[in-house]
Amino acid sequence: MTSTSSPPQSQGASSDETPSEIQVVLPDGSKKALPAGATGADLAKAIGPGLAKAALAIRVNGEIRDLQRPLTDGATVSILTNKDPQALDVLRHSSAHALATAVRQLFPQAQIGFGPPIEDGFYYDFDIGRPFTPEDIEAIEKKMVEVLKADYPFVREEVSRAEAKKRFRDDPLKLERIDDLADNEIISVYTDGPFVDLCRGPHVPSTGKIQHFKLLHAAGAYWRGDERRQMLQRIYGTAWFSKEALEQYLNRLEEARKRDHRVIGKQLDLYSIQEDIGPGLVVWHPNGAILNFELRRFIEDIILQRGYQLVYTPNVTREQLFLRSGHLPLYAANQFPAMAAGEGESEDVRYRVKPMNCPMHILIYASQQRSYRDLPIRLAEIANVYRNERSGTLHGMLRVRGLSMDDAHIFLREDQIEEEIFNLLDIVELVMGKTFGLQYRLDLATRPEKKLGTDAMWEIAEKALEGALKRRGLPFKMDVGGGAFYGPKIDIKFNDAIGREWQGATIQLDYELPERFKLEYTGNDNKPHRTVMIHRAIFGTLERFVGFLIEHFAGAFPLWLSPVHDRRWPNGRRARGARHAAPGGDSLPSRRALRDTELQDPRRRDSQGAVHGGGGAAGGGSKVGRGAGSRGRKQTSCDAGC
């Protein structure tokens, strides 16, 4: 390979149009004059020596760039230091280059793939003809320290396609990438010391800016994520701005490793995924089934008190239904292939296992005439759906092919949206906040550029969602343009015990499916009106939520969920579980637990009906939370003591 590091070519285009002086607009709105051709680094120097030292990159008209690139007249600029989260991405991406620099020194024949920043770190893909060993990783890390100490500047050049191909003639993966670039795309390469890479940038000024990093592990990864292509070896690393941040992260990783739901799931005999049954298909063992059972009952009790109706629908359906809903052919890649029809049906009829429940719930709604007075109609089903996820993306209970969704579809009038969302947020708070004590946040995703329906329609929907969020007094973040093309949505994200963020429930408005299925209700004007539809799941899937619970509680579940009530978990897990249940005070008594209590209390022996009737677990909203607190504590002390 070529390792020449020729000096940067002159930036012809920009110097042509610039006069002898340029002006840039700083974040506070003030203007700063600089000589033509001045770079981001020059600007930082002109502002002050402290900033010149701290500067890592620069935002120019919203785009993050290297400090060494010349600024343009009139640009709005902001220098990024280690105070900016976006600078951390630049640092991590630069770390990936430093990693590749080290790998190429130790393995000159290594082929190089991609090296992006990722959440909490970076990776780079290599092909050295075999997997990396732990000793390799150690040696590479040592070499990487040398690369950082050498403080190689990252030098950017723009090159022609022919030049790029010449430079990377020994790197087939890079050549393939070059062929993918559009004709008008500017091709840039970056050199740090002996290493040159095809890259859009940006990077920190030099490798010396990377000070706190660690290589974590290596794993096989298909080139471009495609299982038909060759397997590369991906090295993961992490980089931070301070020693403390790095150490905190490594501790968190260690903690996460101890909480891995796949390990605890096996220790507690909760579930398995077996080769004979198939990847991504969770088998719930008796202990895990109790968690599944309790969560179902818990959510069903809540929604039945709130005007939902349970429905059950088949696991397979005629393919035609998904063509009508538009899920085929659009999501064909995520559906299992079609099956032939049974005897007595036309050979043209094919069946599919269902990837979602919406069309069937829609047909229940459409099975009779609906009046404005009937709405909202809320159909709920904890249903098994199947998605043909790539085997490489599957991960324990967190990413599966067989999903148990706590699904519901709400059919309503436009003027009911706000109230319904308001009520849904109440369920979210009861489940996530009061019961599991989770810190969660809400994102309101609004209309994207490509969308269905009129702006007026979106205006009403977005206002209704926003109105409900405000009435609830919940802080939320606007995700402008982040909505689906068929409607705005609210995404719920929450943090676990060690600070990791999880994607939770979604409340999704939908204007498309009612249109496709011509869903109507008769208004008080006696005319037909188009129904609005909401898709919502609170847990999401039971698999993913239980996977989360295992990691969040490190296996020490709140008592009402605990698979075993009368035995202690090994290693004092029981006692820790008790601690988890008490402070939140929000663990609900399950029917299972109630039954135990009832059996011990002769006065309540015949009172099982009360479970549904308003006493015990069936109290409304926040009352459930409060009642549960004391019950949870009572059971705790009993459990820990006996």
Residues in contact with Zn ion by CB under 5 A are 199, 358, 535
Got the DSSP string for 65-123? Answer: E-TTSBP-TT-BEEEE-TT-HHHHHHHHHHHHHHHHHHHHHH-TT-EE----EETTEEE
According to DSSP, the β-strands at 316-318 and 350-353 are antiparallel
Q: Cα–Cα–Cα angle for 386, 390, 395, nearest 5°?
A: 85
At residue 445, the 3 state secondary structure works out as: strand
Closest CB 197 distance from Zn ion, rounded Å: 6
Got the DSSP string for 464-519? Answer: HHHHHHHHHT--EEEETT-SBTTB-EEEEEEE-TTS-EEEEEEEEEESHHHHHTT-
Nearer to Zn ion, 358 or 431 (CB): 358
Nearer to Zn ion, 201 or 616 (CB): 201
Closest CB 400 distance from Zn ion, rounded Å: 18
Closest CB 520 distance from Zn ion, rounded Å: 19
In this structure, the number of other CB atoms found within 10 A of the CB of residue 7 comes to 8
Closest CB 101 distance from Zn ion, rounded Å: 11
Are 540 and 399 in contact, with CB atoms under 8 Å apart?
no
Residue 219's beta-bridge partner residues?
234
**Spatial distance between the Cα atoms of 235 and 217, rounded to a whole number of angstroms:** 6
Closest to 234 (Cα-Cα) out of 125, 393, 133: 125
In this structure, the number of other CB atoms found within 10 A of the CB of residue 84 comes to 17
Angle between helices 621-641 and 573-584 (to 10 degrees): 150
Nearer to Zn ion, 148 or 199 (CB): 199
In this structure, the number of other CB atoms found within 10 A of the CB of residue 565 comes to 15
Closest to 298 (Cα-Cα) out of 545, 129, 474: 545
Nearer to Zn ion, 199 or 428 (CB): 199
Closest CB 540 distance from Zn ion, rounded Å: 12
Closest CB 102 distance from Zn ion, rounded Å: 15
**Spatial distance between the Cα atoms of 478 and 445, rounded to a whole number of angstroms:** 6
Closest to 39 (Cα-Cα) out of 148, 152, 117, 155: 155
Closest CB 7 distance from Zn ion, rounded Å: 19
**Spatial distance between the Cα atoms of 37 and 17, rounded to a whole number of angstroms:** 10
Question: Measured between alpha carbons, how far apart are the two ends of the chain, in Å?
Answer: 71
Tokens representing 442 are 């809400």
Closest CB 380 distance from Zn ion, rounded Å: 11
Closest CB 132 distance from Zn ion, rounded Å: 21
Closest CB 131 distance from Zn ion, rounded Å: 25
According to DSSP, the β-strands at 440-445 and 377-386 are unpaired
Closest CB 376 distance from Zn ion, rounded Å: 15
**Spatial distance between the Cα atoms of 43 and 10, rounded to a whole number of angstroms:** 19
Nearer to Zn ion, 506 or 608 (CB): 506
Closest CB 147 distance from Zn ion, rounded Å: 14
At residue 552, the 3 state secondary structure works out as: helix
Closest CB 97 distance from Zn ion, rounded Å: 5
In this structure, the number of other CB atoms found within 10 A of the CB of residue 106 comes to 14
Burial class (CB in 10 A: 0-12, 13-18, 19+), 29: exposed
Closest CB 602 distance from Zn ion, rounded Å: 46
Nearer to Zn ion, 112 or 444 (CB): 112
Tokens representing 545 are 């939520």
Nearer to Zn ion, 408 or 581 (CB): 408
Q: Cα–Cα–Cα angle for 419, 423, 425, nearest 5°?
A: 115
Burial class (CB in 10 A: 0-12, 13-18, 19+), 535: buried
Angle between helices 85-106 and 134-149 (to 10 degrees): 110
Closest CB 536 distance from Zn ion, rounded Å: 8
Are 115 and 100 in contact, with CB atoms under 8 Å apart?
yes
Nearer to Zn ion, 535 or 544 (CB): 535
